[in-house]
């Protein structure tokens, strides 16, 4: 695992019933998609305050599931003085996709314990 902290993710997977863990992953996915779209819309509108608020929400969600690099990128976006560069937006998107892929691997194993192995 590279995109998420394996200790945190595995602890969540171990501590939560499989259906609850899968629900956490799905909620994170929905939040991530919503926040990412709001961030893009805010940049297009030149509303950097909204962009920073969405980045704050993303940082919190990422931290809760152990996506440390995504959390760090979102925190950097929160504190940005001006508009983000295209590179920053692309990095956020790439890191988000990587975190989701790793979480879904874990959630698949949680949902199908006999298949993880």
Q: What is the CATH number of the domain that holds 75?
A: 1.20.120
Q: What is the pTM of this model?
A: 0.80
- Residue 112 covered by a domain: no
- Residue 52 covered by a domain: yes
- Residue 117 covered by a domain: no
- Residue 1 covered by a domain: no
* Domain of residue 28, residue span: 6-10+20-106
Number of separate domains in the chain: 1
Kindly report, residue by residue over 74-86, the tens digit of the pLDDT. 999 888 777 787 7
Give residues with Cβ within 8 angstroms of 24, minimum separation 6: 12, 16, 65
Q: Is 106 or 51 the better-scoring residue by pLDDT? A: 51
What percent of the chain has pLDDT above 90? 16
Kindly report, residue by residue over 35-50, the tens digit of the pLDDT. 888 888 888 888 889 9
Average pLDDT, the chain: 83
Q: Give the integer Cα–Cα distance in Å for 23 and 19.
A: 6
- Residue 57 covered by a domain: yes
Closest CA to 9 of 23, 25, 32, 29: 25
User: In the predicted model, is pLDDT for residue 114 greater than 70?
Assistant: no
Of the chain, the end-to-end C-alpha distance in Å amounts to: 15
- Residue 15 covered by a domain: no
- Residue 25 covered by a domain: yes
């Amino acid at each position: 695992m590279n995109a998420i902290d394996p200790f945190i993710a595995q602890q969540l997977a171990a501590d939560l019933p499989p259906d609850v863990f899968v629900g956490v992953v799905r909620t994170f996915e929905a939040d991530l998609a919503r926040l990412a779209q709001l961030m893009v819309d805010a940049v297009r509108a030149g509303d950097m305050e909204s962009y920073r608020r969405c980045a704050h929400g993303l940082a919190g969600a990422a931290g809760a599931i152990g996506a440390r690099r995504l959390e760090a990128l979102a925190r950097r976006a929160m504190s940005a003085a001006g508009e983000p560069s295209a590179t920053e937006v692309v990095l956020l998107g790439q890191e988000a996709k990587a975190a989701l892929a790793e979480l879904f691997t874990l959630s698949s194993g949680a949902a199908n314990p006999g298949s993880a192995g």
